[in-house]
Chains A and B, each alone.
Chain A
Amino acid sequence: MVPWIVALPLAGALVNGLLGGRLGRRGTSLVACLAILGAFLLSAAATQGLVTSSERAAHVVRLFEWIGVANFRISAAFQWDPLSALLALVVTGVGFLIHVYSVGYMADDPDYSRYFTYLNLFVASMLVLVLGANLLVLFVGWELVGLCSYLLIGFWFERPAAAAAGRKAFVVNRIGDAAFVVGILSVWGLLGTLEFREISRLLGEGGGALRGHPGLVAAALLLFAGATGKSAQLPLYVWLPDAMEGPTPVSALIHAATMVTAGVFLVGRLWPLFEAAGPVLGAVVAPVGAATALFAASVAVVQYDLKRVMAYSTISQLGYMFLALGAGAGGAAFFHLTTHAFFKALLFLAAGSVMHALHGQIDLRHLGGLRRSMPLTFLGFVVGALSLSGIPPLSGFWSKEEILHAARVHAAAVWAVALATSFVTAYYATRAAVLAFWGEPADHHAHPHDPPPAMAWPMAALAVLSAFGGFLGAQWAGAPLQAFLEPVFGDHGEASSVAGAEVAGAVAVALAGVVAGWWAHRARREPDLGPLGRALAAQWGVEALYDRAVVRPAKALSHLLAQRVDARVVDRAASGLADLVVQAAAAVRTWQTGNVRQYAAGVLAGAVVLFVYWVLR
């Protein structure tokens, strides 16, 4: 059954891609949505099997042997275990809702069928990524989602900004992917296998003899570098804010809920390897996650583009997930991944509704007062924002609480950063909500209205999930999600009781953030943050640093190569060679006289020479 989960969206992409617009808009949307719905139902049925059976060991479906060279044998195989099941459900579930939303959002786009082809292809690729049974199959999915991301960011490629953003995403991801490939090779060199089951078997229980082996540490670092590229962590996050040039449902699906969590998934998938790699989790993954979380949250505070606020928020929340992984709380990380998929997709869809109603207007300075004209969107956005801020009893609260607890147990510094991030997160979420929905309408000529049903229903569904999805992993509900994932991450005392005071403190911090955001922006004015504000607007100088360290040297080098090396060396070598041939030909062509008797004499002379040679030899 597992291969069919991948095959359905792929078939949808093929049908829509090959038939183009011949199915009509209704047919195209039916094919695309039903393919994803089918995949979701199959995943749910397969998950049901995992939940009810007592045996939760990974179940591998081998399709065929893909590479067989000497002892390097790789099969194309899928794996079904609790981690794949969770991700497959999130991808197909949220994916289905966003497909339905897209039917409304893209209704007037001339490239309707191309859009759904890409979107289905993305879901299929993402499923290959999460279901792959070895690193190479995972890598195929990894690259395919990168391709789909590129295609969809640049979907409106006639806009130069969109084309440039797609290119940027592709190039930045290449850096991480290069490290990833080397990481895969290191794993092969060290363990002689790329199968996840085998890796778990060889490195189970803390890695055995290989624990802390330098090669293992290097492999883990390289793989983590790949994860930072895909999951937009410091220092490779720069592509994600620009990726907002794509259609908003794409931002919701790919750049918030699913693809960008692939890095988190990679670490979770190779959990035994990371655990056995000694200090990598605690000394690298957790600090990078914590730094990214606070950094991106702080930058989100001064963004005016609503979607960019959400993009930085996504980077920050992904940092939270890595922080949890680094603190050893894999279950908490994936719990947050799930709730984040709900509420961040909801926030993006709400932002998309605003764009839809105001003809693409997304600048917070030109929004306002939408509370009355778009009550449904307003409600969805507020639920999402409060969930993001971690206000109980919404879903974000439960997962964030788990992470904060794990951080406190792990290290005080990480915990402090996480708490600070929680405050800033609540602040910018409230700021965005206030600027967009409260106050007076900025434009009195526009008549915004709530979106059509195709867009409203997915938002409603996601709002319900954002509000109540937290009970999936809430401790007092028995933490069913963490129990489900236990075969993957083991029991790391995440279930240790969380003190009431700790929870109260965290909620107080989040509430303080909400109140601060409200108070600072209640009059729809931006408080003057002085030098801090300028530093934030410049992303703490990261873009400038990239510009100076990478972009400008690269351009200077290209210039040098084009003006000097290409024009003076390569071109001259090429035309010199051509001249040589022309001159040689001019000399040789006189030999061909066109006179038959001369040819005959030549033949005779040759024959005589040969004859003499044979005789005298």
Chain B
Amino acid sequence: MTVPAAAYLLLSAALFTLGTVGVLVRRTALILFMSIELMLNAVNLAFVTLARVHANLDGQLAVFFVLVVAAVEVVVGLSILVHIFRSRDTVDVDEVDLLRG
């Protein structure tokens, strides 16, 4: 039995929406990161699906880039987070607003 491509794309859209809502409503920085990962991987899923549908490897290639960049972003982001926690005892992003104009 083969699963139709539309199912993959629907799943991808659902995951992306989940991630977006997470970023908008949660205040804990760690959860924010996880939501962003969710969005990225939703996009990856769409890439892979469409690569298969069109029999074109470019989509798969893009996934690799997204993976690498996501990994790097997490490394930098988490280290910033650790420093924020050390200096302010909180990871609530609403309380970190030094750059307010």
Task: Identify the A interface with B (CB < 8 A).
Answer: 588-597, 600-601, 604
Contact = CB atoms under 8 A, between A and B. Distances in A.
Interface string B13-29: 00000001001110100
A597 B93 contact: yes
A522 B20 CA distance: 112
Interface string B82-100: 0000000000011011111
Given A600-B24, A604-B20, A604-B24, A595 B101 contact: no
A498 B93 CA distance: 109
24 contacts: A588-B101, A589-B101, A591-B101, A593-B97, A593-B100, A593-B101, A594-B96, A594-B97, A594-B98, A594-B99, A594-B100, A594-B101, A595-B94, A595-B97, A595-B100, A596-B32, A596-B93, A596-B94, A596-B96, A597-B23, A600-B24, A601-B24, A604-B20, A604-B24
Interface range for B: 10 to 19
A146 B93 CA distance: 71
A609 B100 CA distance: 26
Nearest to B35: A600
Given A591-B101, A597-B23, A597-B93, 6 more contacts: A588-B101, A589-B101, A593-B100, A594-B100, A595-B94, A597-B25
Interface string B61-101: 00000000000000000000000000000000110111111
- Interface of A, secondary structure class, is helix
Contacts of B25: 597
Contact of A600 (B23, B96, B99): B23
Contacts of A592: 99-101
Contacts of B32: 596
Contacts of B94: 595-597
A590 B32 CA distance: 25
A594 to B, nearest CB: 3
Q: Which 9 A-B pairs have the closest CB atoms?
A: A594-B97, A594-B100, A592-B101, A589-B101, A596-B93, A594-B99, A600-B23, A593-B100, A595-B97
A494 to B, nearest CB: 87
A596 B20 CA distance: 13
B24 A597 contact: yes
Contacts of A600: 23-24
A595 B32 CA distance: 13
B71 to A, nearest CB: 21
A589 B99 CA distance: 11
Contacts of B101: 588-594
Nearest to A604: B20
A596 B25 CA distance: 11
A595 B100 CA distance: 8
A282 B72 CA distance: 89
Contacts of A595: 93-94, 97, 100
Contacts of A590: 101
A601 B25 CA distance: 10
Contacts of A601: 24
